[in-house]
């Protein structure tokens, strides 16, 4: 057992922070939290050896529930383009390059290193259609000791030939990746990833559903990101009641754990399907700004009992930091607050933090909190450059989130093991 001491902050419930000033957390050999307390006696282990982080903050690590690893090279470029030319001139050509496994290896290493740097220990990731590239990405995550659900992407229509793969090849590629991921409770696993309805024929969508069910794999995709996309899906799937319903009819909407990115424009009926399917919404506020999609009404989702996590959505999003996503999520909700004449409350910091930790983390298991039995995924924050003596613990956390950056993250843990930067 290991015991760490620091100012411990986490969100067992979204309404408020739980703070232990100079608190202790005991972590078992399996990397899970045994207990937290305000003294070693309270922990029931008065003689334990303690690693004391002093005046630093100890918080759950970040979870990114929607990000395209294969778009990492395009992070922060082509922001002046609209969605279609952006896809055609930048995104698709870039993803095509991942047929070259050494290129994939190069970019994916950069990506994972930066994810580590910004304090994200778990991610739900899009790779590309390429099985070998996807395998490389999974191995890089394994090597780093981080957690990831990695998606070999299913696409067989409405995109360049170089990014299409037949249904049989897709299934066979998935089966290889599944066969290589048999370790129980593994940190890195495959996830079924139809890109979105417009990229997949009905046969492909049915194959995805079948693979998910057969191997008990989670599912990720995109949903109701922008209005013209929704209209396109309506034309492609005239028998469905809407975009979410189309996924549902193919068995891809909660039959296994499912996360859908964006949901900017989900109407009441779709939101009901999301909630009833237990589907998680990946809220990607920077991407929704950059691609001019709109502002997702996250308060409404939470009120309706929908599960929400935060996603960086590189490279529609430009920033890999989930701390920055918290800030943006609050800002977006403040625009809904303003427009509703202050009737709909904006998101509090604890709610944003909870989405980034315990709520988003729930997609990976017991992740994102320091409650008993949770994986010890944690960050140690040194805010010495932010004048900590002038502020209380929660203000220090707020300042780190709003003003700090990766320089303040001095230790990273995933399931109890320290994750170190490459340099």
Question: Closest by alpha carbon to 211, among 266, 260, 279, 151?
Answer: 151
∠ CA(201), CA(205), CA(208), 5° rounding?
140
> In angstroms, what is the minimal distance from the CB of 96 to a copy of itself?
16
Sheet containing 188-190, strands listed edge to edge, beginning at the edge strand earlier in sequence: 62-68, 120-126, 147-151, 188-190
Backbone angles phi, psi at 347, to 5 degrees: -70, 135
Q: With binding defined as CB under 8 A, does residue 346 bind a copy of itself? A: yes
The answer to whether 91 and 74 have CB atoms below 8 angstroms apart is: yes
Binding range to a copy of itself, per CB under 8 A, among 10-18, 75-83, 216-224, 244-252: 75-83
**Nearer of residues 104 and 367 to a copy of itself, judged by Cβ:** 104
Q: Using CB under 8 A, pick the residue from 99, 139, 164, 331 that binds a copy of itself.
A: 331
Q: With binding defined as CB under 8 A, does residue 399 bind a copy of itself? A: yes
Residues 253-292, interacting with a copy of itself (CB under 8 A): 286, 289-292
Contacts with a copy of itself: how many residues (CB under 8 A)? 39
Question: Closest by alpha carbon to 124, among 114, 107, 137, 136?
Answer: 137
Question: Closest by alpha carbon to 66, among 216, 284, 303?
Answer: 284
Q: With binding defined as CB under 8 A, does residue 403 bind a copy of itself? A: yes
Q: Using CB under 8 A, pick the residue from 1, 48, 79, 410 that binds a copy of itself.
A: 79
∠ CA(194), CA(328), CA(408), 5° rounding?
100
Q: With binding defined as CB under 8 A, does residue 338 bind a copy of itself? A: yes
> In angstroms, what is the minimal distance from the CB of 376 to a copy of itself?
27
Q: How many helices (H) and strands (E) does the chain have?
A: 16, 17
Binding range to a copy of itself, per CB under 8 A, among 2-10, 28-36, 324-332, 355-363: 324-332
How many residues are listed for the chain in this entry?
Answer: 423
Q: Using CB under 8 A, pick the residue from 85, 373, 395, 418 that binds a copy of itself.
A: 395
Q: Using CB under 8 A, pick the residue from 327, 379, 409, 419 that binds a copy of itself.
A: 327
Type and span of the H or E element at 3: strand 2-13
Cis, bond preceding 315 (omega within 30 deg of 0): yes
Residues 95-114, interacting with a copy of itself (CB under 8 A): 110
- List contacts with a copy of itself (CB under 8 A): 73, 75-77, 79-80, 82, 110, 286, 289-295, 318-319, 327, 330-331, 334-335, 337-338, 342, 346, 348-349, 387, 390-391, 395, 398-399, 401-403, 405
């Amino acid at each position: 057992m290991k015991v760490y001491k620091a100012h411990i902050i986490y969100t067992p419930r979204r309404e408020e922070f739980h703070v232990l000033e100079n608190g202790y957390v005991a972590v078992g050999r399996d990397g899970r939290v045994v207990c937290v307390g305000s003294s070693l006696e309270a922990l029931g282990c008065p003689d334990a050896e303690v690693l004391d982080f002093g005046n630093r903050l100890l918080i759950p690590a970040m979870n990114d529930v929607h990000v395209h690893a294969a778009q990492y090279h395009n992070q922060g470029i082509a922001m002046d383009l609209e969605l279609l030319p952006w896809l055609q001139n930048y995104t698709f050509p870039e993803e095509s390059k991942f047929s070259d496994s050494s290129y994939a290896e190069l970019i994916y290493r950069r990506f994972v290193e930066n994810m580590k740097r910004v304090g994200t220990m778990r991610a739900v990731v899009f790779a590309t259609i390429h099985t070998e590239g996807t395998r490389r990405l999974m191995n890089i995550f394994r090597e780093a000791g981080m957690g990831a659900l990695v998606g070999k992407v299913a696409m067989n229509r409405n995109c360049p030939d170089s990014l299409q793969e037949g249904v049989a090849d897709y299934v066979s590629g998935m089966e290889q990746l599944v066969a290589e991921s048999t370790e129980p409770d593994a940190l890195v696993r495959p996830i079924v990833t139809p890109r979105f309805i417009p990229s997949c024929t009905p046969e492909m969508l049915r194959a995805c559903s079948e693979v998910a069910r057969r191997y008990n794999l989670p599912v990720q995709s995109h949903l109701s990101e922008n209005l013209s996309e929704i209209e396109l899906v309506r034309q492609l799937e005239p028998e469905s009641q809407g975009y979410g319903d189309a996924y549902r009819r193919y068995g891809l909407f909660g039959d296994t754990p499912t996360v859908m990115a964006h949901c900017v424009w989900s109407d009441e009926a779709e939101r009901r399907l999301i909630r009833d399917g237990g589907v998680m919404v990946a809220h990607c506020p920077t991407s929704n700004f950059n691609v001019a999609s709109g502002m997702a009404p996250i308060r409404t989702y939470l009120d309706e009992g929908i599960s929400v996590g935060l996603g960086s959505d590189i490279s529609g999003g430009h920033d890999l930091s989930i701390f920055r996503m918290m800030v943006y999520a609050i800002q977006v909700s403040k625009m809904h607050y303003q427009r509703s004449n202050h009737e709909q409350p904006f998101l509090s910091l604890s709610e944003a933090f909870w989405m980034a930790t315990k709520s988003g983390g729930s997609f990976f298991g017991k992740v994102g909190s320091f409650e008993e039995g949770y994986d010890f995924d944690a960050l140690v924050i040194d805010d010495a450059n932010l004048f900590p003596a002038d502020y209380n613990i929660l203000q220090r956390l707020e300042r780190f989130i709003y003003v700090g950056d990766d320089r303040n993250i001095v230790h990273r843990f995933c399931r109890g093991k320290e994750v170190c930067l490459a340099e």
